[in-house]
Amino acid sequence: MSTNVDHGQWSSRLAFILAATGSAVGLGNVWKFPYIMGENGGGAFVIVYLVCIFAIGIPVMMAEVLIGRRGRQSPGNSVRALALEAKASTKWSLVGWVGLIAGFLILSFYAVIAGWAVSYIFESAAGNFVGASPEKIQTIFNDLQNDSSTLILWTTIVLAVTGLIVGKGLKNGLEKAVTYAMPTMFLLLLIIAGYAAINGDFAQTIRFMFYPDFSKLTFSGVLIALGHAFFTLSLASGAMMIYGAYLPQKTSIAQSVVAIAIADTVIALIAGMAIYPIVFGNGLEATAGPGLVFVSLPIAFGQMWGGIVFGTIFFVMLGFAAFTSAIAMVESAVAWLVERLSFTRGKAALTAVVSLWFVSMLTVFSFTGAEWAKLDFVFVGKHVSNYFELIDHLTADVLLPLGGLATAIFVAWVMQKEAVAQELNVSEKVFSVWYVTLRWFTPIAVLFVFLNLIGLVSFSS
């Protein structure tokens, strides 16, 4: 059902860029990118990742923002309106719905991990990492994951703050939050990077991140790079479509999207350059996995001069990054509730975060190892052992690639070329390169990756 709700618009191009960069930059950049880079051999992985961002991520993001701006509604309703415009089946609205659902599901576990970051602000400020043995710090992390009441407390706080920001509306909530949070986050990141460069092993970091050793790159590393490119740019999660729906008509989609993708990439690389000198300088492993930020880094901060202050700054920075992503993930659902049920924004935000709270319990109790949260089956090519693994795999490996694929097909094959060209409004040359990429390269690359994942074709090494 299409509606005529006017959601309003960003007050400037900068507001959109800050909000979309805020969505893009998050736990994915600071927590996930450094550890998957570490696990997949450093420099060579970075190169593949950059290719995925520029050759696949940017074209898809342009398509999503374009859909949003032309439709001006929540993702499902926008795609539906454009399908009608193209005289195609309204079943295409599923493309928008998959995004909205993916964003919602991602937030259900993202809020739990964001909760760890927020709780670490207090752990660090209280001096709990100072001089602590690696075992003690591992115990702090394990205890946090095993203790349901603590996890629930922090998850509730994260969702409540997210709901408060989103409930205040576009200009007073989202826009204000990103205007303060993004510059602060960036400044804090630079402070940590400077601290790391002075006190850690910067030379080894540069060698590790920028010297490509292709013998360390596996085919599964390539798949991880592509999946992460989607996640880090917030693609196929409703976020870029809904943020595009608030974009003023005269703003250039292409220029803004390139700026957002570059900002996201630069921040991921700076995060690596902030974390690895500290890790290497303290003789810790690059391949520490998900514990890199929550175990290795606190161990290092605990040993270093000024560790309390800089450790606390680090987790405040991570918290800011997480919140500006969380608001983007829930916004599509909120816009839909406003359209469909005529809710006020406040009521819509409350409804969304309360529903999310219940779904996030699946992740909380997966971490604590509750019997009822255990699973044991193969789902789309991967064995899952609890609800968290199921939701993580369903979103990152299934909904995101398929959503990206469907978006590319919808814009490049279903929408009328003239409508697309009019909305994008770029030079003919830029348009043809983008259009051909979206028509051919993106679907083939994504399909190939997806088929490999579910085991229909295999190139794994």
Stretch that binds ligand PFF, among 24-32, 425-433, 435-443, 449-457 (CB under 6 A): 24-32
Q: Whole-angstrom Cα distance, residue 172 to residue 175?
A: 6
Phi, psi of 375 (to 5 degrees): -130, 165
Q: Which of residues 188, 279, 329, 353 is near ligand PFF by CB under 6 A?
A: 329
Query: What binding mask, one character per residue, do residues 178-217 give for ligand PFF by CB under 6 A, x or -?
Result: ----------------------------------------
> Which tokens go with 170?
């576009």
Half-sphere exposure of 206 (CA within 13 A, CB side): 7
Q: Which of residues 328, 333, 398, 414 is near ligand PFF by CB under 6 A?
A: 328
The three-state secondary structure class of 147 is coil
User: Which residues does residue 383 pair with via DSSP β-bridges, in sequence order?
Assistant: 378
Residue 281 in the binding site for ligand PFF (CB under 6 A): no
Q: Which one, 185 or 304, has the nearer CB to ligand PFF? A: 185
Stretch that binds ligand PFF, among 23-31, 44-52, 122-130, 280-288 (CB under 6 A): 23-31
> Which tokens go with 300?
């290092």
How near is the Cβ of 321 to ligand PFF at its closest, in Å?
Answer: 7
Residue 394 in the binding site for ligand PFF (CB under 6 A): no
Report the site for ligand PFF in 307-326 (rule: CB under 6 A). 325
Helical H segments across 342-441, by residue range: 345-367, 387-393, 400-409, 417-424, 428-436
Residue 49 in the binding site for ligand PFF (CB under 6 A): no
Stretch that binds ligand PFF, among 182-190, 231-239, 275-283, 343-351 (CB under 6 A): 231-239
Q: Sign of the C-alpha dihedral, residues 64, 69, 74, 79?
A: negative
Report yes or no: 61 and 239 within 8 Å, Cβ to Cβ: no
How open is the CA angle 320-324-325, to the nearest 5 degrees? 115
Q: Which of 105, 82, 125, 123 is nearest to 309 (CA)?
A: 125
Residue 19 in the binding site for ligand PFF (CB under 6 A): no
Q: Whole-angstrom Cα distance, residue 367 to residue 388?
A: 8
How near is the Cβ of 269 to ligand PFF at its closest, in Å?
Answer: 14
Residue 21 in the binding site for ligand PFF (CB under 6 A): no
Give the binding site for ligand PFF (CB under 6 A).
23-24, 26-29, 103, 106, 231-232, 234, 237, 239, 325, 328-329
